């Protein structure tokens, strides 16, 4: 596992360098076609997939790579064995943001292959099967955050050497906060059902300009937010952050 995360970090250093010069090297824009999720494939998507696959092959312990840029898992015979790992990864996640100089990242998940051959199907299953997971974010600084079940730790890349150094050990979600992160586009898919206390939030306060966030006290965080509109007689009911479980499973990647 350490070898794989180390390789992902090495690839991240290369990706960070390429992203900084992508416009100058004609690496922005579409490569043509769509991937399995229906997204248009960018040049950097293809490039990132290829260098990640090549790097994981060299570890000798990666049995397969699952990537949205490949219609089937990329089997790696050189890494197969009873202790091999299957990696699910998107090397350049959010590549469409690059056209406006936005932030992108690398996301990855490691699962045991269980000696399966082909190994790709071992990627299927509950999140609790993960043995490690993390992401790299490319911004003003390049950061790598991962967990292997014993805390979540953040590393920052030194641009001069391309090495990552531990800067944020044992990251924790604060008991109280001023913001929450949630994909409100999925409200209709069950978020409310998973937050039975959302309705206990105080009614949001209408504001003059919309859409804007309305701050309301919540039972778990200092504020919840709801989009407001001057044309509406009331704000959309707030959706509150779901509190972390007291004893979360490894799949939650937080303690």
Render pLDDT for 87-124 as a digit per residue (tens, 0 to 9): 999 999 988 777 777 889 999 999 999 999 999 999 99
Establish if 247 belongs to a structural domain.
no
Do 160 and 178 sit in the same domain of this protein?
A: no
If asked whether residues 191 and 68 sit together in one domain, one would say no
149, 168, 187 — which closes off a domain? 168
Q: Which long-range contacts (CB under 8 A, 24 or more apart) does 33-37 make?
A: 35/68, 35/69, 36/68, 36/71, 37/68
Of the three residues 168, 190, 212, the one that is the final residue of a domain is 168
- C-alpha to C-alpha distance for 172 and 170, rounded to whole angstroms: 6
The distance of Cα 74 from the centroid of its chain, to the nearest Å, equals 21
Picking from 150, 168, 186, the residue at the C-terminal end of a domain is: 168
Out of 22-36, 73-87, 233-247, pick the least confident: 233-247
Q: What CA–CA distance (Å, rounded) separates 115 from 253?
A: 25
Residue 126 has what pLDDT?
85
Range of the domain at 91: 2-168
- pTM (2 d.p.): 0.69
Specify the 3-state DSSP secondary structure of 85: strand
Q: When comparing pLDDT for 253 and 109, which is higher?
A: 109
250 in a structural domain: no
| Confidence at 191, pLDDT banded by 50, 70, 90 | low
Summarize the confidence of residues 208-215 as an average pLDDT.
Answer: 39
């Amino acid at each position: 596992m350490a070898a794989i995360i180390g390789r992902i970090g090495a690839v991240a250093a290369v990706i960070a360098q390429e992203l900084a010069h992508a416009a100058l090297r004609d690496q922005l824009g579409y490569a043509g076609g769509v991937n399995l999720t229906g997204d248009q494939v960018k040049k950097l998507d293809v490039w990132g997939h290829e260098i990640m696959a090549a790097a994981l092959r060299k570890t000798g312990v990666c049995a397969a790579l699952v990537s949205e840029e490949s219609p089937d898992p990329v089997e790696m015979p050189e890494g197969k064995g009873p202790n091999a790992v299957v990696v699910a990864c998107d090397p350049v996640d959010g590549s469409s943001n690059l056209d406006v100089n936005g932030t992108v990242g690398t996301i990855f998940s490691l699962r045991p292959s269980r000696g399966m051959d082909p190994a790709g199907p071992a990627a299927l299953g509950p999140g609790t099967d993960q043995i490690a997971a993390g992401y790299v974010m490319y911004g003003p600084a390049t950061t790598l955050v991962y967990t292997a079940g014993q805390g979540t730790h953040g590393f920052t890349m030194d641009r001069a050497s391309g090495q990552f150094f531990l800067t944020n050990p044992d990251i924790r979600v604060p008991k109280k906060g001023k913001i929450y992160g949630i994909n409100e586009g999925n409200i209709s898919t069950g978020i409310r059902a998973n937050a039975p206390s959302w309705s206990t939030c105080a009614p949001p306060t209408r504001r003059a300009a919309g859409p804007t966030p309305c701050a309301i006290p919540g039972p778990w965080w200092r504020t919840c937010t709801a989009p407001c509109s001057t044309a509406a007689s009331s704000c959309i009911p707030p959706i509150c952050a779901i509190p972390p479980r007291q004893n979360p499973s490894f799949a939650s990647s937080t303690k």
